[in-house]
Amino acid sequence: MDATNRNTALASAMVEELERCGMRHAVLSPGSRSTPLALALWRNPAIETRVILDERSAGFFALGAAQAEGRPVAVLCTSGSAAANLHPAVVEADEAGVALVVLTADRPPELRDIGAGQTIDQIKLYGSAVRWFCEVGTHEADDSSLLHFRSVACRAFAAARGEPRPGPVHLNIAWRDPLAPVAVANDVSARSPLALEGRDDQPLTAVTAGPVAPDDALVGELGRRVSECTRGVILAGRQLDPELAGQVAELARAAGYPILAEPTSQLRLGSHDRGLVIAGYDAIVRSAPDDLRPEIVIRLGDMPTSTALRTWVTAAAPQQIVVDPHYGWNEPTLRADVVVRSDPQLTAEALAAVLDDDPDDAWARRWRAADDAVAAAVATELDALDRPSEPGVHAALGGLYRDGDLVYTASSMPIRDQEAFLAASPAAVHFLCNRGANGIDGFVSSAIGAAAASGRPTWAVLGDLCLMHDLNGLATLRDSGLPIRFVVINNGGGGIFEFLPQAESLDRDEFEALLGTPNRIEIERVAALYGIGYRRVETLTDLGDPIDGPAILEVVVDRRENVALHQHITERATAAIASREQIS
Same domain, 402 and 473: yes
Q: Residue 256: which region, alpha, beta or left (left: phi > 0; alpha: psi -120 to 50)? A: left
Output the CA torsion sign for 223, 225, 227, 232: negative
| SS3 (DSSP) at 268 | coil
Q: Beta strand 430-433 with 551-556: parallel, antiparallel or unpaired?
A: unpaired
> Within a domain: residue 507?
yes
Q: Confirm if 371 and 362 have CB atoms less than 8 A apart.
A: no
Handedness of CA 352, 357, 362, 367 (dihedral sign): positive
Is 131 contained in some domain?
A: yes
Q: 178: cis peptide before it, omega within 30°?
A: yes
Instruction: Provide the CA 84 distance to its chain's centre, in angstroms.
Output: 21
**Interstrand relation of 484-490 and 406-409 (parallel, antiparallel or unpaired):** unpaired
Beta-sheet strands, E only, within 449-536: 458-463, 484-490, 533-536
- CA–CA separation, 319 and 338 (whole Å): 9
For residues 165 and 224, membership in a common domain is answered with no
Q: Are residues 546 and 456 in the same domain?
A: yes
Q: Residue 247: what pLDDT?
A: 97
CA–CA separation, 130 vs 127, rounded Å? Answer: 7
* CA 446 – CA 484 distance, rounded (Å): 12
Residues 152 and 15 placed together within one structural domain of the fold: yes
For 572, the enclosing helix (H) or strand (E) is: helix 559-578
Question: One-letter amino acid identity for 71?
Answer: R
Last residue of a domain, one of 116, 145, 176: 176
Give the structural domain span for 127.
Answer: 6-176
Whole-model pTM? Answer: 0.96
Same domain, 418 and 277: no
> Which residues, 6 or more positions from 431, have their beta carbon under 8 angstroms from its beta carbon?
263, 264, 265, 266, 269, 406, 407, 408, 409
- Classify strands 551-556 and 277-278 as parallel, antiparallel or unpaired: unpaired
Amino acid (one-letter) located at 154 = C
Task: Enter the DSSP assignment of 475.
Answer: G
- Whether the CB-CB separation of 286 and 309 falls below 8 Å is answered with no
SS3 for 348? helix
Asked if 293 and 155 sit in the same domain, the reply is: no
148 and 42 assigned to the same domain: yes
Q: Is residue 285 part of a domain?
A: yes
**Burial class of residue 6, CB neighbours in 10 A (0-12, 13-18, 19+):** buried
| Three-class DSSP category at 498 | helix
Q: Are residues 326 and 401 in the same domain?
A: no
Q: What is the pLDDT of residue 584?
A: 58
Residues 321 and 257: beta-carbon distance below 8 Å = no
Exposed / middle / buried, residue 576 (Cβ in 10 Å: 0-12, 13-18, 19+): buried
279 domain residue, yes or no:
yes
Is residue 191, in this structure, part of any structural domain at all? no
pLDDT at 358: 83
Q: What is the CATH number of the domain that holds 123?
A: 3.40.50.970
Q: What distance, in Å, lies between the first and last C-alpha atoms of the chain?
A: 71
Has residue 498 been placed in a domain? yes
Helix (H) or strand (E) holding 232: strand 232-236
Query: Which of 176, 208, 224 is the C-terminal boundary of a domain?
Result: 176
The last residue of one of the domains, among 317, 337, 372, is: 372
The Cα 356–Cα 344 span in angstroms is 20
Residues 368 and 396 in one domain: no
Per-position pLDDT tens, the chain of length 584: 999 999 999 999 999 999 999 999 999 999 999 999 999 999 999 999 999 999 999 999 999 999 999 999 999 999 999 999 999 999 999 999 999 999 999 999 998 999 998 999 999 999 999 999 999 999 999 999 999 999 999 999 999 999 999 999 999 999 999 999 999 999 999 999 999 999 999 999 999 988 899 999 999 999 999 999 999 999 999 999 999 999 999 999 999 999 999 999 999 999 999 999 999 999 999 999 999 999 999 999 999 999 999 999 988 768 999 999 998 888 899 999 999 999 999 999 999 999 977 888 999 999 999 999 999 999 999 999 989 999 999 999 999 999 999 999 999 999 999 999 999 999 999 999 999 999 999 999 999 999 999 999 999 999 999 999 999 999 999 878 899 999 999 998 887 888 888 888 888 888 888 888 888 889 999 999 999 999 999 999 999 998 888 999 999 999 889 999 999 999 999 999 999 877 75
Residue 395: φ, ψ to 5°? -65, -40
User: Same domain for 30 and 150?
Assistant: yes
How much is the pLDDT for 528? 95
Please give the Cα distance from 25 to 455 (Å, whole number): 13
In a domain, 461, yes or no: yes
Q: CATH number of the domain that 343 lies in?
A: 3.40.50.1220
Same domain for 315 and 398, yes or no, is no
Same-domain pairing of 464 and 535: yes
Query: In this structure, is residue 377 part of a structural domain?
Result: no
Burial class of residue 582 in the structure, from the number of CB atoms within 10 Å of its CB (0-12 exposed, 13-18 middle, 19+ buried)? exposed
Which residue blocks in 127-208 are alpha helix, DSSP H? 143-161, 193-197
Is the CB of residue 576 less than 8 Å from the CB of residue 508? no
Residues near 199 by beta carbon (within 8 Å), at least 6 away in sequence: 20
Nearest CA among 431, 399, 412, 132 for reference residue 302: 431
Q: Could you give the strand order of the β-sheet that contains 551-556, starting from the edge strand earlier in sequence? A: 430-433, 406-409, 458-463, 484-490, 551-556, 533-536
Domain total of the chain: 3
Rounded distance between C-alpha atoms, residue 261 and residue 276, angstroms: 10
CA–CA separation, 58 and 254 (whole Å): 46
SS (H, E, C) 296-322: EEEEECCCCCCHHHHHHHHHHCCEEEE
What does each C-alpha distance from 568 to 9, 574, 578 come to in angstroms?
66, 10, 16
CA distance 420 to 394: 9
